[in-house]
Amino acid sequence: MEGDWHIDLSAGKPAAYAALRQAVSALLTGESNRTANLANAAAALFATFGWHWVGFYLVDAVRDELVLGPFQGPVACTRLRKGKGVCAAAWEKAELVNVPDVDSFPGHVACSSLSKSEIVIPVVVDGLVVAVLDIDAAAFGAFDAVDEAGLAAMVSDLESMWTTWE
């Protein structure tokens, strides 16, 4: 699965998410390094959908903030504090947050002025948020219910593998 990466979008997003989920699972199977697996998951999403930014923020429990993890896209904010921004909201609520217009989100942290909409899905392991998958798009309202379901299913797969990774 490594090398050329292509998921056919012509059959629609539900089919693309199903194919992507299967391909990412195959790609991550047998690899125990968390950084490598998160990097490949971010790259697969980025390559498939062409969003502006795709990546993970990992919970730093000591400093009580999110720290930048593997990602694809332009340079990003390195640390995000609780109480501020879409990522922090998903982390604190332990639930998916879909924002069609980031400029209307109170306390939005603008890592890139090109980001217009954002979706963040928490990665929950043993009842604790350990990371968030953060995706930004350059268009308003870029994420719909199909994206929510497809991304939540992918994150569920990552959650089930998380404790087997180093």
> pLDDT tens-digit profile of 117-141?
999 999 999 999 999 999 999 999 9
Kindly state whether residue 7 falls inside one of the protein's structural domains: no
Q: How far is residue 143's CA from residue 51's CA, in Å, rounded to a whole number?
A: 10
Kindly state whether residue 28 falls inside one of the protein's structural domains: yes
Dihedrals phi, psi of 107, to nearest 5 degrees:
75, 15
Q: How far is residue 91's CA from residue 147's CA, in Å, rounded to a whole number?
A: 19
**Cβ contacts of 103 within 8 Å, gap of 6 or more:** 116
Tallying the residues shown for the chain, one arrives at 166
CB 155 within 8 A of CB 123: yes
CB 56 within 8 A of CB 71: yes
What's residue 166's pLDDT?
93
Kindly state whether residue 6 falls inside one of the protein's structural domains: no
Q: How far is residue 166's CA from residue 32's CA, in Å, rounded to a whole number?
A: 6
Whole-angstrom distance between the N-terminal and C-terminal Cα of the chain?
Answer: 22
CB 33 within 8 A of CB 165: yes
What's residue 2's pLDDT?
52
CB 53 within 8 A of CB 43: no
- Per the listing, tokens 């899905």 go with 121
CB 38 within 8 A of CB 27: no
Distance, CA of 138 to chain centre: 15
Kindly state whether residue 3 falls inside one of the protein's structural domains: no
How many independent structural domains does the chain possess?
Answer: 1
**Cβ contacts of 113 within 8 Å, gap of 6 or more:** none
For residue 135, give the CATH number of its domain: 3.30.450.40
What does the pLDDT average to over 96-115?
88
Kindly state whether residue 5 falls inside one of the protein's structural domains: no
Kindly state whether residue 109 falls inside one of the protein's structural domains: yes
Q: Is the full-model pTM beyond 0.85?
A: yes
**pLDDT tens figures, 43-74:** 999 999 999 999 999 999 999 999 999 999 99
- Which residue segment(s) compose the domain that 136 sits in? 13-162
Kindly state whether residue 148 falls inside one of the protein's structural domains: yes
- 148 versus 111: which is more confidently predicted? 148
Kindly state whether residue 2 falls inside one of the protein's structural domains: no
